[in-house]
A and B are shown apart, each in its own frame.
Chain A
């Protein structure tokens, strides 16, 4: 029975605006933990064996056993989040590009730009048009967005270092994305994690374990921290926007083997898009990737200092990139939707 009191109560407690993403996020978060007991049960005997191994033969074997064992505790949630994202990514096949049209890849980056006594985060947008047949002419519009976030130094210091100067937009074109002369022939180049070419992408294994091993090999001896460097390479490749959906899914699954990866933020928002942040913190820095746990869409990557460094306080975000895909009818034209 509804009466005036109910009317008043309904006005006092207005019905909030619904947001489908909210419940999808909660669902992933809840169901990740719902499967945990099964995993824990399965792991327990192996863990006690690992513990025994440490006692009997020393720490070296203990480390090896732990590395090889399946994830546990908080890592179960990481693994579940990545697996769910990978499953969705497999179903989310990249929309095929009709003949004559272009795949549109837009990346928005805030990157660290500094002088000895000033530092800002500067905004840049790269829009790339890749033809349906990638062995063709690519186009890129590189724009300095003019965004500047002060991290260090006075206005005068920033000005003196020229960090506030906005550069003019660049319109570039080249076969297979070879926009600058020093890039050479990218149609046949081997490429790498930082500049994934068609040949590089085709050569990467899709089996998650093999892909993880490949990442380990390629990052060996590089960066400040071996585990973090794996995520840095993954972030580099994803940030390029060039990776196809099957490889993105394989990378998510490969990351479930990275023992130190943690969920660093359940609801991380970059450029207005919200997802789960997974990160590795080491050597005074944190690298994160942000993915939509439900659709598997790669939203972006972000890095920050976790210790004071060069006058920039701990916790400061020192850069991020977001990626958006679409289909465009012509070069220099943005997708309609």
Chain B
């Protein structure tokens, strides 16, 4: 059977904020939903990957949906001149992720109390095995990351996994750029020391 999906190619939607639009109204008006769809197409794949590296795929799917729905209802707050759409979206996602981890930690504590042993990690069996394997070798690093304050961990992961620079991280998390740089420097230095003891330096690019 043929099941052709109409693509979004060919749609002409301005992706940059026009200088003639007052701040905050970029995602208002008749073309707003088209512009928002274009933002989705640009950023959803990367955001899903970023989230799915930290939580189970199905949870990442829900978090992506929640991020964009939150973004849409808060679109009046979006100021293109203050930073990229990407930073704005990841900022929302990071908050949702923080809440997700909190709820999950609570559930895990509860199930430990009920069953008397540790609940399994999230993810499919393969992913769990893969992670456990990596985690056995990187146990020290895992523990060190888990012990980081939320803000430090977010700066680290946005930088290392999403490839954000200090400025984008500052926009995403709503903190000064200088704070990002000093946090990043401090966290990376501390973790490098841990990683070096549990994860021998690589010979070169693999």
Closest to A19 in B: B57
Contacts of B69 in A (CB 8 A): 30, 33
If A4-B192, A13-B54, A95-B1 touch, does A30 touch B40 (CB 8 Å cutoff)?
A: yes
The chain B residue with its CB closest to the CB of A16 is B52
Q: Which of B1, B65, B191 has the most CB of A within 10 A?
A: B1
Give every chain B residue within 8 A of A297 (Cβ-Cβ).
Answer: 3
Annotate B28-46 by CB proximity to A: 1 below 8 A, 0 otherwise.
0000010011001100110
Query: Once the chains bind, are A12 and B36 in contact (CB under 8 Å)?
Result: no
Number of interface residues of B (CB under 8 A): 48
Q: Can you add 6 more A-B contacts, CB < 8 Å, to A9-B156, A30-B69?
A: A8-B199, A14-B127, A16-B60, A26-B48, A30-B65, A295-B5
**Interface contact A23-B45, CB-CB below 8 Å:** yes
Q: A178 at the A/B interface (Cβ < 8 Å)?
A: no
Q: Assuming A16-B49, A91-B6, is B44 touching A5 (CB within 8 A)?
A: no
Please, how many angstroms separate the alpha-carbon atoms of A51 and B136 in the complex? 63
Contact of A35 with B by CB under 8 A: yes
A315 to B192, CA, bound (A): 52
Number of A-B residue pairs having CB atoms within 8 Å of each other in the complex: 114
Q: Tell which of B4, B5, B134 touches A11, judged by Cβ atoms closer than 8 Å.
A: B134
Residue numbers in B under 8 Å from A19 (CB-CB): 57
A95: which B residues are within 8 A, CB to CB? 1-2
Contact at B201–A4, with CB atoms within 8 Å? yes
Partner of A267, one of B48, B58, B145: B58
Q: Does B17 contact A (CB under 8 A)?
A: no
Task: Tell me, in angstroms, the Cα distance from A30 to B67 when the chains sit together.
Answer: 9
Contact (A29, B5) CB under 8 Å given A4-B192, A8-B199, A12-B138: no
Instruction: Determine the chain A residues whose CB is within 8 A of the CB of B4 once the complex forms.
Output: 91-92
B25 within 8 A of A: no
Judging by beta carbons under 8 Å apart, are A34 and B33 in contact? yes
Interface residues in A6-63 by Cβ distance below 8 A to B read 6-16, 18-19, 22-27, 29-31, 33-35
By Cβ-Cβ distance, the 3 closest A-B pairs, closest first, are A13-B53, A16-B52, A325-B1
Asked if A5 contacts B160 (CB within 8 A), the reply is: yes
Indicate if the CB atoms of B65 and A14 lie closer than 8 Å: no
Count residues of chain A with CB under 8 A from any CB of chain B: 42
On whether the beta carbons of B196 and A295 are closer than 8 Å, the reply is: no
> Is the CB of A88 closer than 8 A to any CB of chain B?
yes
A16 touches B53 (CB 8 A): yes
Tell me the nearest residue of chain A to B32, going by C-beta.
Answer: A34
Residues of A within 8 A of B142 (CB): 12
Q: Which residues of B contact A35 (CB under 8 A)?
A: 33
Contacts of B53 in A (CB 8 A): 13-16
Digitize A103-117: 1 where CB-to-B-CB distance is under 8 Å, 0 elsewhere.
Answer: 000000000000000
Q: Which of B6, B127, B138 contacts A8 (CB 8 A)?
A: B138
- List the A side residues contacting B127 at CB < 8 Å: 14, 16
- A3 interfacial contact with B, CB 8 Å: yes
Q: A16-B52, A34-B72 are in contact. Are A24 and B5 (CB under 8 A)?
A: yes
Give the contacting residue for B44; candidates A12, A27, A33; CB below 8 A. Answer: A27
Residues of A within 8 A of B37 (CB): 27, 31, 34
Q: How far is the CB of A276 from chain B (nearest CB, A)?
A: 13
Question: Taking the complex as formed, is A168 at the interface, i.e. its CB lies under 8 A from any CB of chain B?
Answer: no
- CB of A22 within 8 A of CB of B191, answer no
Closest to A25 in B: B61
**A294 in the interface (beta carbon within 8 A):** yes
Q: Are A30 and B72 touching (Cβ within 8 A)?
A: yes
Contacts of B64 in A (CB 8 A): 23, 26
Specify which of B5, B60, B141 is in contact with A12 (CB 8 Å cutoff): B141
A10 to B161, CA, bound (A): 7
The verdict on A271 contacting chain B, using a C-beta distance below 8 Å, is no
Between A14, A87, A294, the greatest number of chain B beta carbons within 10 A of the residue's beta carbon is seen for A14
Which residues of A are found within 8 Å of B195, using beta-carbon distances?
Answer: 4-5, 8
> At the interface, yes or no: B135 with Cβ under 8 Å from chain A?
yes
